[in-house]
Structure 1
Amino acid sequence: MEPVAHPPSLIGQEARYLVARLARATGLYRYLLSGPRPGAPSRSIADPWLGDPALGRAIASGRYIFAGTTQTPQGSPWEVADAPPGWLREAHGFSWLRDLAAAGSSGDDSARSAQALVGLWLDWDATKKPGADRIAWSAAVTGRRVRAWLNHWSMLIGGESGTLGPEILNSLGRQVRHLDLIAGAEGDGEERLTAILGLVQASLMVPAFHPRLSRAVGLMERELTYSILPDGCHATRSPRLQFEVMRDLVGLRELFSELQAEVPICLVTAIDRMAPVLRFFRHGDGGLALFHDTREGVSADIDGVLGRADAKGRAPARCPHGGFERLVSGKLNIIVDAGAPPGAPYDSHAHAAPLAMEVSYGTERLIVNCGASKVIDGDWAKAQRSTAAHSTIGVEDTNADEISNDGRIGRRRASTVVERNETDGAVWIDMSHDGYLKPFGVTHRRRLYLAPEGTDLRGEDRLEGTEGRTFTLRFHLHPKVQVSLLSNHSAALLKTPSGSGWRLRVSGAEMSLADSIYLGGPQDTKRTQQILLTGVTGPEGASVKWALQRETKR
């Protein structure tokens, strides 16, 4: 099981994928997936990450809460009609086995439930043509399912009820041969890596697949080269995926070590580069900043991944390749999206939010973006990606980046320019984007200044260009922040649960309050408020100056 010295040819993998697509279209795919039944994994391992007992108990009771949607079928969950695609992807991925394992009052209870559900899946799959279901047999879902089965192998075949051995091994063989044909060529963004990691883990753990390991590691090396930017930011620019991909890589590195196999250098390097950026994306409460399909997450889970990563790099002040800036002074922390949206195939999670920012003080969040709904299919999925769902400026109620019907960023995408200076503890950042230049003839420029004492943040948002364009500058507030406008409507008072007060002073726009929705916390949606600063560009454009300063207690 020697690691490869060079990644496999991209042309070779694409050729394998084309053969697979042709075979699937002509009904010959079963012959490509056929082969001898593989033996069992060389040893059983424990899932490196803990599940959610509450979700596991729901599964055991017949309530399947996947992708923010609950289904309660009377029979097999694999026969649910009209289930949303996101629910199906999560169901067929079997990552919920860790929730089931965490929920059982005894190992036998978990094993019986898991074996029953896997048995029903095997029966369902047997009624289909091999690899025919486009969700269940997509590259990413297959890779996730293979890893889940291997991580819970003893639970799936052990105990008095363990009768799935031959069937599950036959299915595992077909799935790994399927991954061998399509991994690295099918899927968008992080999905490519998910499929490859499934192939790597199977090739590492199952002796019959050991000959595939060298090529699988080569695919992983190539994908990590593309998807992890030079500064360590994941190419999707999503803090959530920064965490999830790093968690997968840390777990795989531990597996190599546990099996006494040489850990690929690309795996070690990727983890070491990603860890500082994951720290970069955290607010003082330990959760993640809400950019690009991200929720706060669980602080303890993030701590666990960083601790086991054993990467000592500190959070940088900026991620120039990822396109993020961080201003920190005292307890005040500002994170700004100062980059352009990612290109294909990494743009399916991107939000139209150039120059959006979040502000926290200590463990309390003040100014936020709306975040990402747990329900990944539906109205919120589109609304949360809009410019209006972020703390930045919008022009003519239009997104700064075009979001196409297929979920990707369209032809109209903003490009950005950033200049940063630091002197005597103070930080200045001057940023601009041209997302509104083509449709409306204006450029957005945002300047931020953070004073050394960490209680004074000042900004200016300018629109330069065509006269007569309406604009709205939004500051979405965390649900725990109370806000009131002062009598002249040129200032607002923000109050946090700890009693800390902040005054937002504004000139150059009309200030008002409006309802907003927060999608970043444990609850899927929580009502909150936003401060709106509205106006119309004049002959010299528009300039909105503002200052956020902490009130001194008397």
Structure 2
Amino acid sequence: MIGAKLRLSSLAARQSGRRALARLYISPLLRWRFGRGDPEKLLLAPQDLRASDPTRAAEIVSGRYTFAGKTINLNEVSPFVVTPPSPVWRETLLGFTWLRHLRAADGTAGRTAARRLIGEFVRSSLRFQPEVLEPVLTARRLLSWISQSPLVLDGADRGFHRAFVRSIAWQARYLLQAGSASADGMPRLTCAIATAQASLCFSDKVNLRRPATRWLAAELGRQVLSDGVHISRNPQAVIDLLLDLLPLRQSFAARNVLAPPELLGAIDRMMPMLRFFRHADGAFGAFNGMGYTQTHLIATLLAYDDARGKPVQNAPHGGYQRVEGNGAVLLVDTGRPPPLAVSHNAHAGTLSFEFSADNFRIVVNCGAPAQGRENWRHLARSTGAHSTAIVNDTSSSVFAEGARKPGMAGRVILSGPRTVTVKRETTPAAIAITASHDGYEGEFGLIHQRELTLSQITGALEGRDSFLDGKSHDGKRAPWKGTQPVLLRFHLHPAVAARPANGDTQIVLTLPNGKEWLFLADVPFTLAETAHLANPEGPRRSTQIVTALPPGENTISWAFLPAEPV
């Protein structure tokens, strides 16, 4: 723990130094450096793969701004001068990701509103404030402005055109210098992507393109693992990166510039992950920061998948396993927590799993809440919010805030499972995964081992959880003799109805299509209330199955079986 705290202190010192450097770059003495020369001509606008919403467009045109669940109604007042209802609302406004919706506005209303809002930003004094020029915020704004430049510049006068292009060029040059001040992981990679994209869109930006391409290649090589999982282990990162990298690849081709091998390789490795993390209903597994799945984005990205093959089954570097059988899908987290610097959104969910069948998710994790629901985020990251074992109501990873208790899982992960073993066995009848982790060894002397077997014939899932002594005896693990309470949680999807049956010896699970599944276990179990957090409209009430390890025992066996046809 002392070593982890030293690493945390070192990380905080590095981040403080980077922020100070970024503030230096926007000081009045150095602003001129990024604004020298006449602005170049924009030669191309990369495609924005994110969809536009005509309803959102109509709201923005009428002066109604809804971001992160908060709404402000304005008439003639600029949104850049009002007091924001929340920090996330302000970040969304200043990132301009909403600009794409104005493409869907009727007539010239969208173009007029886009120019008015960008003009208000460019003329305002806040454009040089440190919070506004936070590197990752600048990167998102830069990508939005470039991709929507045809909308913005259509019918624009010469003065606006010049101010708009000059601002893009200034932000791109600034980002190349200050982007390293952003947090490691997705924020820094987004800065590299935005700088490279801007360098390709201008007519003459060779001096910017070369260092931007080198920076991009270095970050992609470091952050996209060999199996296509992002270093943060968040499945959402795969979606977000491909939405930005696919247009960037097109820009390299459009300018007849050789794309770096790291870019092409990263895309090739990540595309199969779109199918790897997908359930039978199209949603992604809710692991390590993944929230609600925008399935239309997945469909858009899959259109660029030339292979269109069966998804890979093993992501050893990212720490995930996938098993399929008779229409059922099993996803398992078999990885250690990500590196400390990129663990801000990681969850303590080692050995948790999700299970879907008959085109519906049955067992899930609670998932990450939507923006504006930050009060739920700490709870979502705890082990109790995952379909796995929890010991003494304590998470398997230690967070920087509040140690390991639910509701106090904040900031980075200081420590967690150090050794996670995985073995996969395949037969014609079933595929079995046996995995273990030592996240509870230090505090409770316990090793959690989980065996999951998915039938290739029926799609049934059978499991066995064992709790072993942390000390080895002749290469074998003895049964754990601790007395702390151990619970197994199986969080059910909100669309699944659950009721006890057969004298409380089993639970009947009814899917939305009317099909029934059974849950059985060799120990007592109960139904309890839980919350499914991965929803855009907010947490939804749901049900969880809870089983407890009986005193003196060290294993729990259980199964999810399709009910016999009537």
Per the normalisation by structure 2, the TM-score is 0.88
Q: Helix, strand or coil: the match of 1:183?
A: helix
Please name the residue that 1:428 is paired with.
432
1:89 aligns with 2:91: yes
Q: Counterpart in 2 of 1:6? A: none
What is the one-letter code of the residue matched to 1:433? H
Q: Does structure 2 conserve the Cα–Cα contact (< 8 Å) formed by 1:271 and 1:309?
A: no
SS of residue paired to 1:96? helix
Question: How big is the shift at 1:474?
Answer: 0.9
Are residue 118 (structure 1) and residue 147 (structure 2) matched? no
Question: Does the CA-based 8 Å contact 1:490-1:507 persist in structure 2?
Answer: no
Task: Find out whether 1:350 has 2:316 as its counterpart.
Answer: no
Residues of 1 paired with 2:412 and 2:93: CA distance?
24
From the superposition, tell whether residues 429 and 302 of structure 1 become closer, same or farther in structure 2 (CA, over 3 Å): same
- For residue 517 of structure 2, give the secondary structure of its aligned residue in structure 1: strand
Q: 1:514 aligned to 2:525?
A: no
Partners of 1:549 and 1:421 in 2: how far apart?
Answer: 21
State the number of aligned residues: 531
Contact 1:354–1:414 at 8 Å: present in 2 too?
A: no
- Hey, what's the Cα distance between the residues in 1 that align with 2:155 and 2:280? 45
Structure 1 residue 45, shift from structure 2 partner: 5.0
1:71-470 equivalence runs, <5 A: 71-72=72-73, 75-81=77-83, 83-102=85-104, 104-106=105-107, 108-124=108-124, 126-127=125-126, 130=128, 132-134=129-131, 136-159=132-155, 164-312=160-308, 314-376=310-372, 378-405=374-401, 407-413=411-417, 415-464=419-468, 465-470=480-485
**SS of alignment partner, residue 490 of structure 2:** strand
Deviation at 1:398, TM superposition (A): 1.4
For residue 77 of structure 1, give the secondary structure of its aligned residue in structure 2.
Answer: coil
CA distance in 2, matches of 1:90, 1:327: 38
Distance 1:223 1:137 in 2: 21
Question: In structure 1, the residue corresponding to 2:542 is in which secondary structure?
Answer: strand
Which residue of structure 1 aligns with residue 495 of structure 2? 480
Distance across 2 between alignment mates of 1:432 and 1:492: 27
- Aligned residue for 2:80, secondary structure, equals helix
Contact 1:156 1:162 in 2 (8 A): no
Shift of 1:353: 0.5
In the alignment, is the contact (CA less than 8 A) between 1:418 and 1:429 conserved in 2? yes
Q: How far is 1:479 from its partner?
A: 1.2
SS at match of 2:499: strand
- Sequence identity, in percent? 30
Q: Give the Å deviation of 1:341.
A: 1.1
- TM-superposed deviation, 1:520: 2.5
Aligned residue number for residue 499 of structure 1: 514
What do the CA deviations read for 1:322-351 (whole angstroms, capped 9, x no partner)? Answer: 111111111111101111111033212211
Aligned to 2:477: none
- CA shift, 1:305, in A, is 0.7
Is the deviation greater in 467-476 or in 45-54?
A: 45-54
Matched AA of 1:546? W
How far residue 247 of structure 1 moved from its aligned partner, in angstroms, is 1.7
**CA separation of 1:351/1:475 partners in 2, compared to 1, >3 Å: closer, same or farther?**
same
| Gapped regions of structure 1 (runs ≥ 5) | 1-13
Deviations 1:386-422 (A, max 9, x none): 1111111111111111222361111344531111111
Could you say if the C-alpha distance between residues 413 and 397 of structure 1 is closer, same or farther in structure 2, counting changes exceeding 3 Å? same
Query: In the alignment, which of 543, 550, 554 is matched to residue 562 of structure 2?
Result: 550
Residues 1:425 and 1:261: Cα distance change in structure 2 (over 3 Å): farther
SS at match of 2:194: helix
Give the aligned residue type for 1:143.
A
The letter of the residue matching 1:531 is: I
> Which whole-Å deviations, capped at 9, do the CAs of 1:279-301 have from their partners, x for residues lacking one?
10001112211112223423232
1:61 counterpart residue number: 62
Tell me how far 1:363 sits from its aligned partner: 1.4
Shift of the alpha carbon at 1:531? 1.0
Q: CA RMSD in A?
A: 2.4
Sort the Cα spacing of 1:353 and 1:433 in 2 relative to 1 into closer, same or farther, 3 A: same
Unmatched 5+ residue regions in structure 2?
1-14, 402-409, 469-479
